[in-house]
A and B are shown apart, each in its own frame.
Chain A
Amino acid sequence: MSPAATTRLPEIIKRREQDLLERWVKEQLSDVAMRRDVVSESQLREESREFLGLVAQAAGKSSLTSLDSAAWQPVRDMLSDLSRARAARGFSSSETATFVFSLKQPLFDVLRQEHDGQAATLTDELWTASSALDRLALYTTEVYQKGREEVILRQQEEMLELSTPVVKLWEGVLALPMIGTLDSARTQVVMESLLQRIVETGAEVAIIDITGVPTVDTLVAQHLLKTITAARLMGAECIISGIRPQIAATIVHLGVDLSAVITKATLADAFQVALSRLGLTVQRAPARP
């Protein structure tokens, strides 16, 4: 493998830029999978011109093997924007990656011309070019992935808000009815928001009702315990209600110590405890004559 110092790639890309652009656009347009309905020819031309220009610039400053360096940041940024834009328009991740991959054929053709008769050098240059384009194409898929993950995360957060509202049962009493399977991350988020609501409403009692929770694992049980301890440090008391027999068995089996926690079978029982803690009782109104 020839050392990067003697590569002619940067010079070739710069000198043959226009030619490369023409070949590349032609290549992309001839691809049957090309999304002509979503990307117009002029837009494609513009995107390709921009990418090639940035690559030519970066290759002039830094080696094609150090794509992580600052010199290549403009290229990465452009690909990042492109990837996100295309994802938003409904492109699949491989359709977006094809944008970069499709540059290989035109680039190889040009390199073959430039290195006519020098098989050894040509092989090295082809390898360097191929690796670089592979890396850049993979980069677009990474960005694509991240974009999708961000969407999912946002949707998860929104669902979380909807599925675990903190309810004010009475002045000073909050209830948190939990529904569905709890995972560690979700439990953590929910618990943090409960503590926040305790401060906001000045509630001294919070009832965590897990009637709608089929199973609990160690992590979730630990989060619950940590939340209860944290609430206590803040000056509020938590009551857990609605523990099903299966969960009770799991808790014992996991060796989680709930001895310092008030537990009640139903939300109603827990509410009664909460009221008495606050020195309140419910009385029947005297019968009207």
Chain B
Amino acid sequence: MATVRDETLEVRASADVVRLRQVVRSWAAELGFSLVDQTKLVTGASELGRNTLEHGHGGQVRLEMLNDDNRRGLRMTFEDQGPGIPDIHLALTDGYSTGAGLGLGLSGTRRLMSEFRIHSEVGKGTQVQVARWR
């Protein structure tokens, strides 16, 4: 899998999440994703970016534009050194939420992506890697 483009963005303030949405939209359009898939990517990025900001206390996201002879895709890796998620299984069930709200978080975002990987350690931080293929 050839990485055609590779960029890391800071996620430290809500303006960063707005910028992230714009960059992901632009890359997704360039990769030729359908409008619906573009929207899923941008929405997923927004969800995960917000998580990084609010639960992870800020972090970074690495964006990779992937293009080999067989398929094209966009990969996003969110990383923070925050408190971590104590019970990942619980966090991935529908309806789970630590804050007031509609309780969607990770399970909903997972449904928007082709691939979803999460790694978290209490006291160390969280890493969420997602990808969507054309």
Q: Which residues of A contact B (CB under 8 A)?
A: 68, 76, 80, 139, 142-143, 146, 192
The main secondary structure of chain A at its interface with chain B is: helix
Instruction: Give the tally of cross-chain contacts (CB within 8 A).
Output: 10
Q: Is the CB of A146 within 8 A of B70?
A: yes
- Tell me the minimal C-beta distance from A195 to chain B in angstroms: 9
Q: Which of B2, B36, B69, B70 contacts A192 (CB 8 A)?
A: B36
Q: Is the CB of B69 within 8 A of A143?
A: yes
- Tell me the minimal C-beta distance from A37 to chain B in angstroms: 30
- Tell me the minimal C-beta distance from A233 to chain B in angstroms: 13
Size band of the interface chain B makes with A = under 10
Q: Is the CB of A142 within 8 A of B36?
A: no
Known: A68-B2, A139-B69, A142-B70. 7 other contacts (CB 8 A): A76-B69, A80-B69, A142-B69, A143-B69, A146-B69, A146-B70, A192-B36
Which A residues are CB-close (under 8 A) to B36? 192
A76 to B70, CA, bound (A): 13
Which B residues are CB-close (under 8 A) to A139? 69
A127 to B83, CA, bound (A): 54
Which A residues are CB-close (under 8 A) to B70? 142, 146
A76 to B68, CA, bound (A): 12
Which B residues are CB-close (under 8 A) to A142? 69-70
Of B2, B69, B70, the most chain A CB neighbours within 10 A belong to: B69
